[in-house]
């Protein structure tokens, strides 16, 4: 039997400190996706760019630009960059971009050289892609199929259907051996990356679409359309529930899995919780638009992006 602990927002708010961003960075376009590697912030934008900034001061390190595409009317536009990733210790990047006629492309950028690995003619509607190693990537399609893809041979190693529900998000474990993947059903599948086999299904926490999922140290965090922030214990399937006052569009955990943050209200304020004690620690204020990305760099620093040009960098006390 699952044990659920619900937390009322109005009770906890008075116990927390309000924190404003320590740095606000203006990206090349509206931010679609954020990732953090080696103290660098990667941001995919709707201006057809992968922007790379220093975490410490927000200064621009480089900008990678993808070529224009044609929209349904034949006009040339900048492609949205939906998903970004990087191989640690290298200058090798992975990006999923919008392609002509509603399709998607997958690009590798290696030491400045841009190579299209999957093009629009292959009709793979990729939602998210992450490196497994320098030669393989895990792709998620909008149809909720996972593909382990050989980047050198440019072919699928496997393709599996996780569920009939529409895909929403996935997060790899630290060792990249397992992945937590979510859908509109409100369930989370824990999948073996090497085989594509579903090892466990987590359910009961969310009853509607999960917008974002995180996977750290034996915990899975879910940000839900049902205004529920859910944190599962993967081993037991038990969960804790954090009720917000609005749709919870984004959430994340610190690397240790001890801290969790959710976008909790219509003002896009974010609330940081100690997931061990179930207590609210901080309220992060100042986000200007609907959140779509929250990422912890470490136990103190985190970065958020929303449906505008502004990337916000935060530091917890």
pTM for the structure as a whole = 0.93
Q: Which domains does the chain have, with CATH numbers?
A: 6-315 (2.130.10.10)
Backbone angles phi, psi at 10, to 5 degrees: -65, -25
Q: What are the C-alpha distances in Å from 263 to residues 79, 196, 225, 277?
A: 27, 31, 11, 19
Percent of the chain with pLDDT over 90: 90
Q: Which two tokens stand for residue 130?
A: 């992450």
Average pLDDT score over residue span 82-104: 94
Q: Which two tokens stand for residue 127?
A: 């939602």
> CA-CA distance, 116 to 127, in Å (whole number)?
16
Identify the bridge partners of residue 215 per DSSP, sorted by sequence position.
220
At 17 the pLDDT is 74
> CA-CA distance, 124 to 122, in Å (whole number)?
6
How much is the CA Rg of the chain, to the nearest whole Å? 19
Given a cut of 60, is residue 268 above it in pLDDT? yes
Q: What are the C-alpha distances in Å from 283 to residues 14, 149, 297?
A: 10, 40, 18
At 71 the pLDDT is 86
Distance of CA 199 to the CA centre of its chain: 22
At 102 the pLDDT is 81
> CA-CA distance, 20 to 269, in Å (whole number)?
10
- The pLDDT-based confidence of 1 (bands split at 50, 70, 90) is very low
- The pLDDT-based confidence of 72 (bands split at 50, 70, 90) is confident
At 317 the pLDDT is 94
Identify the bridge partners of residue 228 per DSSP, sorted by sequence position.
243
- The pLDDT-based confidence of 11 (bands split at 50, 70, 90) is very low
pLDDT in tens, 19-35: 999 999 999 999 999 99
Backbone angles phi, psi at 133, to 5 degrees: -155, -170
> CA-CA distance, 95 to 19, in Å (whole number)?
32
Look-up of token digits 């569009």? 249
pLDDT in tens, 148-186: 999 999 999 999 999 999 999 999 999 999 999 999 999
> CA-CA distance, 208 to 43, in Å (whole number)?
28
> CB neighbours of 238 closer than 8 A, spacing ≥ 6?
2, 3, 232
Average pLDDT score over residue span 33-51: 97
Q: What are the C-alpha distances in Å from 254 to residues 36, 228, 234, 296, 302?
A: 12, 19, 16, 5, 8
β-strands 310-315, 69-70 pairing: unpaired
> CA-CA distance, 119 to 73, in Å (whole number)?
20
Say whether 197 sits in a helix, a strand or coil.
coil
Query: In a 10 Å sphere around its CB, with 0-12 CB exposed, 13-18 middle and 19+ buried, how is residue 293 labelled?
Result: buried
Given a cut of 60, is residue 13 above it in pLDDT? no
């Amino acid at each position: 039997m699952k044990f659920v602990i619900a937390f009322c927002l109005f009770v906890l708010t008075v116990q927390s400190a309000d924190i404003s961003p320590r740095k606000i960075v203006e990206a090349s376009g509206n931010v679609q996706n954020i990732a953090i590697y080696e103290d660098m912030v990667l941001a995919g934008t709707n201006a057809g760019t992968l922007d790379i900034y220093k975490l410490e001061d927000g200064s621009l390190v480089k900008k990678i630009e993808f070529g224009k595409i044609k929209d349904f009317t034949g006009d040339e536009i900048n492609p949205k960059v939906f998903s970004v990733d990087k191989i640690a210790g290298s200058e090798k990047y992975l990006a999923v971009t919008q392609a002509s006629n509603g399709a998607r492309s997958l690009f590798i950028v290696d030491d400045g050289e841009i190579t299209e690995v999957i093009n629009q003619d292959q009709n793979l509607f990729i939602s998210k892609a992450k490196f497994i190693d320098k030669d393989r990537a895990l792709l998620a399609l909008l149809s909720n199929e996972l593909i382990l893809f050989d980047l050198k041979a440019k072919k699928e190693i496997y393709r599996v259907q996780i569920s009939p529900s529409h895909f929403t998000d996935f997060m790899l474990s630290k060792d990249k051996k397992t992945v937590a993947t979510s859908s509109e059903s409100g369930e989370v599948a824990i999948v073996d990356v090497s085989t594509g086999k579903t090892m466990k299904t987590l359910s009961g926490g969310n009853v509607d679409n999960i917008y974002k999922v995180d996977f750290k140290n034996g915990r899975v965090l879910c940000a839900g359309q049902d205004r529920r922030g859910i944190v599962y214990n993967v081993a037991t399937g038990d969960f804790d529930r954090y009720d917000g006052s609005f749709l919870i569009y984004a959430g994340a955990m610190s690397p240790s899995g001890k801290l969790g943050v959710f976008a909790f209200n219509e003002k896009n304020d974010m609330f940081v919780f100690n997931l061990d004690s179930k207590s609210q620690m901080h309220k992060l204020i100042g986000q200007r638009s609907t959140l779509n990305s929250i990422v912890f760099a470490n136990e103190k620093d985190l970065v958020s992006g929303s449906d505008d040009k502004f990337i916000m960098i935060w530091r917890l006390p």
